[in-house]
Structure 1
């Protein structure tokens, strides 16, 4: 694999050619905020047209998996999916939607081939977007803004379908299936055993984890249930959590959101993105107070986008079907949540999560283990009370 500097120059040559810039130079910028990306390295770059003295601010993502062979299967699919989103889906979406640019950064270059994996986007921080850096969880205002954007994203797939516009086939965008993603299914189950069944043994949630784990005896059925029994499928984001959003603020209030990192995008029920956000990105008190408002906010935004394109929401995806799908996807979303919080809280890194053998070291990670137990316990209690799960 090329070194970062060589790859950056090679990529910028392609970008400059695309933009008809004959003489140029570039400068590496300082990263704005502590942005997180587990599947790549981020390089903010200023591409400077030496003739016109115009500067274009870019964010370059390069693959980091060459140093970690164990995560190669994840990286392969991740870069292919994001390449497809920006080069194939986004142009289609922009043809059918109004003002879709507000959460799709312009893509200047994408390559998902193994030795040259790279993505070049607008650096949205130049336009006033920034990451949320006021705590681990988001407040009501941020969540509502995200739900409205995600609803619009989902509506694009439904609009394409109703207009009989078929995106070019790409098997990497098909629903996650165990026969195509065996490493993913393996990691989820191993992680659930370690951070669910074993960690919560002897607690009030012991039976919950044992019962859900028993449903994973057939991982094919466990994973595919949320696909085959869903009322509809769309191109969902797939990795909805607070680090994959940038916000624009006015008077410290979020007024606009930009969605990033489509490396887990695939066909899924719309409910999966929504539920995953409400599970992982808000604390229990906010979730319990506003849960029904959040669900209604999402569906209202979906209706608005569909109706604006002459589509009757009740015929393509009614609110009743959406709420049915919320219950359907809970087991899968919860399983992924266990995996995610083990990563986000530093109990594991992406490499060790590929093989989560051994028990949790409670002594050396006591504070984070206790936080993990509190967060996960609150999730179970909340969604039992909501009637989302009866496990």
Structure 2
């Protein structure tokens, strides 16, 4: 850590801002909250606050501080500031309006995000202070383990409800939707340095996967499709992210639906392993786009072939039925705003987004701990590309080839 950057001091200033009082009468304990490979775009810390005149275990608040990386090299290779601006905008401007809209409609409040207490846009020290949802019995699960149907189903249902809010607001409060979409344009893939880095890494890994196939004719379709995908990467990504593809069906996307960004709660004592609630973290890539983008991102990064073979269609139906049910509760007609046939059309024409992200993100997720890059030490784009171009030794190539096989089976255009 830089000698001139004091994380504890930055966090304490954020706490003072949140509660508008001095910390002279409080003890603030700040502990690192993540392990290697759990967070690439910052550092996160557990923050415990208690009064000095109270008993040792009388904690006033359990909070969670998320701090932007301050190292110049890392900030020069990723759109760090824009990502924190995006997340802060989500917590301070988007989420309160989503909650208020639901209250006005007198429905049970759907709120799959933590409460935010304070934020900072100080250059080089961007940060958020939020509820520590783990103290409310939410848990992370192993992002390297196989995802089961129960967890996948809950995620699909909750994504559907989240997207339904955008459709309802666009339908009933167009001026509010216009306000919400401000600062909801893509800031990650459209960033020149980030897109250049990702294109090179995806090309490197994709080329290695092409070489992994044998020369038998039974693999010809997969090889040809992957080669064409790699050859046309920039135009492919620009096309799928174009708002022209979403049109009147554009909604606010989470943008980064990885398992590492989802907390689960298990409130059914009779079935303690089945999740009942979730909380979504890391809203740094929130953007306007087709609902299919969130679905494709989640399914092809987080599920494996066995689950898709048995339940892919069911998961899509679960998503849509959840979206449609919530839309009706909010007072809008899903058949008018987002017909099921349009969802299937978008999944087909935007499927390249799922493959693109699976190639580099699944690579990160399946690495041995010793191979997880320390992003704070990256000095330039070439090293960044190198850090993202590792092909994990166990199971990775087969997993991506399974994705390619499934995309062809579903007749998806990638």
Bucket of the pairwise TM-score, normalised by the shorter protein? 0.7 to 0.9
Q: CA–CA distance in 2 between the matches of 1:292 and 1:224? A: 24
For each residue in 1:41-78, what CA deviation from the matched residue of structure 2 results, as whole angstroms up to 9, or x when unmatched?
11011122457855111010111242534555421221
Gaps of 5+ in 2: 214-218
Matched residue of 1:142: which SS? helix
Q: How many corresponding residue pairs?
A: 383
For each residue in 1:238-259, what CA deviation from the matched residue of structure 2 results, as whole angstroms up to 9, or x when unmatched?
0111111111113222111111
1:315 deviates by 1.0
**Structure 2 counterparts to residues 113-132 of structure 1, below 5 A:** 113-132=122-141
**Structure 2 counterparts to residues 1-391 of structure 1, below 5 A:** 2-17=5-20, 23-28=25-30, 31=33, 36-50=38-52, 55-69=60-74, 71=76, 73-97=78-102, 98-100=107-109, 102-133=111-142, 135-164=144-173, 165-166=176-177, 168=179, 172-175=183-186, 180-201=190-211, 203=213, 204=219, 205-216=222-233, 218=235, 221-225=238-242, 227-231=243-247, 232-249=249-266, 250=268, 251-346=272-367, 349=373, 350=375, 351=378, 354-355=381-382, 368-389=392-413
Gaps of 5+ in 1: none
For each residue in 1:281-321, what CA deviation from the matched residue of structure 2 results, as whole angstroms up to 9, or x when unmatched?
11110111000000000000101111011100011111111
Q: CA–CA distance in 1 between the matches of 2:149 and 2:100? A: 31
Greater Cα offset, 333-342 or 31-40: 31-40
Contact 1:215 1:222 in 2 (8 A): no
Matched residue of 1:300: which SS? helix
Contact 2:229 2:236 in 1 (8 A): no
Contact 1:65 1:72 in 2 (8 A): no
Question: Aligned-pair RMSD on alpha carbons?
Answer: 3.0
1:357 deviates by 5.6
TM-score by length of 1: 0.88
Matched residue of 2:211: which SS? coil
Contact 1:131 1:245 in 2 (8 A): yes
Matched residue of 1:147: which SS? helix
TM-score by length of 2: 0.83
Matched residue of 2:350: which SS? helix
Seen in structure 2, the aligned counterparts of structure 1 residues 217 and 239 have a Cα distance that, compared at 3 Å, is closer
Q: CA–CA distance in 1 between the matches of 2:388 and 2:188? A: 29
Greater Cα offset, 375-384 or 289-298: 375-384
Contact 2:32 2:46 in 1 (8 A): yes
Contact 1:222 1:332 in 2 (8 A): no
Contact 1:2 1:115 in 2 (8 A): no
Greater Cα offset, 294-303 or 30-39: 30-39
1:135 deviates by 4.7
For each residue in 1:24-44, what CA deviation from the matched residue of structure 2 results, as whole angstroms up to 9, or x when unmatched?
221235748888221011101
Q: CA–CA distance in 1 between the matches of 2:385 and 2:30? A: 40
Matched residue of 1:64: which SS? coil
1:176 deviates by 5.4
